[in-house]
Amino acid sequence: MRPSTTSVATDRARSRRRLIATLGAELVCAAIVIGVSAGPQAGLPQAGSPTASPTPIPPVSPPQSLAAPALSSAVLRTVATPDGRTVELIDLGGAGGDLLDRVAAELPGADQAVTAFWGPRWPRTLTIVVAGSPEQFATLAGAGADVAATTTAERITFSPAAAAMNQDDLRVVLRHELFHFAARADTAADAPVWLTEGVADFVGRPSPAGPVAEPDRLPTDAELSTPGTQRSAAYDRAFAFAVFVAHTYGPDRLRELYIAACGPGHPDAATAVRDVLGIELPR
């Protein structure tokens, strides 16, 4: 599966948080992007993500195999989730220890949220790395300073900048990313971006309590990859479609739709939606 980028943002004016995601190349990968808004809310996290796909990331196992500076500072510890998954936490220095503590505190809930939607059949081991510096993060993840984390089939790698996220945002980010990790084997390189990221948002973000109408149209790839408010609205529409399906037909049908429309050898999205839900896609 190709990479995806995801951003988390808090918009005080509208009192809600948005997750933004854009898919790019062939391995499953998600990147959390932290931007800064302009004007009266300058300094607040703003939805946004890089338009270019991250460079492919080499496989990682123990800390010794990480091709990055300052490996002597790497600290490895292992935690277990409530359902028995093993998560290796690697701190390469900097503010990683505190961030890994916060990630570890969110892991049980994130694991349960992903399993509740996707089922228990996803990898039993996971590595989470916190880079010690922006330069080290760029070497490991091939991503810039505006990216907070990347996820591949081998690991989730956090930038030191991710330590600035509040705990609510970190919770959403981790659940979103963990879904990408769980679903990677069932996600094709050409899977529809609006569906892969809309479903990841459904797993990561709190769902509205009331009914959600089907969006009048789905976001285009251009809208999903262009920074700014247009992309925020595009990802909100992708999220709204996933919530609409889950509320109208049930989460199991949303998962069935994901597998049908995003799996290897999938038909076009309109055909998959018609076959699974019996409706036509909004144009």
pLDDT band at 159, cuts 50/70/90?
confident
pLDDT at 18: 33
pLDDT at 140: 83
3-state secondary structure of 106: helix
pLDDT band at 150, cuts 50/70/90?
confident
Structural domain includes residue 282: no
What is the span of the domain harbouring residue 256? 193-277
Structural domain includes residue 240: yes
Q: Are residues 76 and 216 located together in one domain of the fold?
A: no
Supply 133's token pair: 């510096």
Q: Are residues 72 and 177 located together in one domain of the fold?
A: yes
Supply 35's token pair: 């931007």
pLDDT band at 125, cuts 50/70/90?
very high
Distances (CA, A) of 37 to 12, 42, 43, 166, 237: 11, 5, 6, 17, 21
pLDDT band at 227, cuts 50/70/90?
low
CB 128 within 8 A of CB 103: yes
Neighbouring CB atoms inside 10 A of 15's CB total 7
Burial class of residue 260, CB neighbours in 10 A (0-12, 13-18, 19+):
middle
Q: How far apart are CA 262 and CA 192, in angstroms?
A: 7
User: If you ran DSSP here, which 8-state letter would residue 264 be given?
Assistant: T
Mean pLDDT (the chain) is: 76
Last residue of a domain, one of 125, 153, 186: 186
Tell me: pLDDT of 69 over 70. no
Q: Are residues 94 and 230 located together in one domain of the fold?
A: no
pLDDT at 237: 93
Neighbouring CB atoms inside 10 A of 120's CB total 13
Q: Are residues 21 and 139 located together in one domain of the fold?
A: yes
Tell me: pLDDT of 71 over 70. no
Ranking 4-13, 16-25, 182-191 by mean pLDDT, the lowest is 16-25
Of 6-20, 78-92, 223-237, which has the strongest mean pLDDT? 78-92
Last residue of a domain, one of 130, 151, 186: 186
Q: How far apart are CA 201 and CA 223, in angstroms?
A: 17
Structural domain includes residue 252: yes
The total domain count for the chain is 2
pTM: 0.76
Q: Are residues 36 and 100 located together in one domain of the fold?
A: yes
pLDDT at 200: 93
Q: Are residues 126 and 11 located together in one domain of the fold?
A: yes
Tell me: pLDDT of 81 over 90. yes
Tell me: pLDDT of 19 over 80. no
Q: Are residues 173 and 230 located together in one domain of the fold?
A: no
pLDDT at 146: 65
Structural domain includes residue 232: yes
pLDDT at 96: 59
Q: Are residues 88 and 173 located together in one domain of the fold?
A: yes
What angle, 0 to 180 degrees and rounded to 10, lies between the N-to-C axes of helices 167-183 and 193-204? 130
Contacts of 195 (CB under 8 A, 6+ apart): 238, 241, 242, 257, 258, 261, 262, 269
Q: Are residues 240 and 153 located together in one domain of the fold?
A: no
Q: Are residues 180 and 120 located together in one domain of the fold?
A: yes
Q: Are residues 176 and 56 located together in one domain of the fold?
A: yes
Tell me: pLDDT of 217 over 50. yes
Structural domain includes residue 29: yes
pLDDT digits (tens, 9 = 90+) for 23-62: 222 233 444 444 332 232 222 222 333 322 332 333 333 3
Neighbouring CB atoms inside 10 A of 184's CB total 18
Ranking 149-163, 198-212, 230-244 by mean pLDDT, the lowest is 149-163
pLDDT at 283: 67
Q: Are residues 132 and 270 located together in one domain of the fold?
A: no
Last residue of a domain, one of 157, 186, 215: 186
pLDDT at 62: 39
Ranking 85-89, 104-108, 142-146, 268-272 by mean pLDDT, the lowest is 142-146
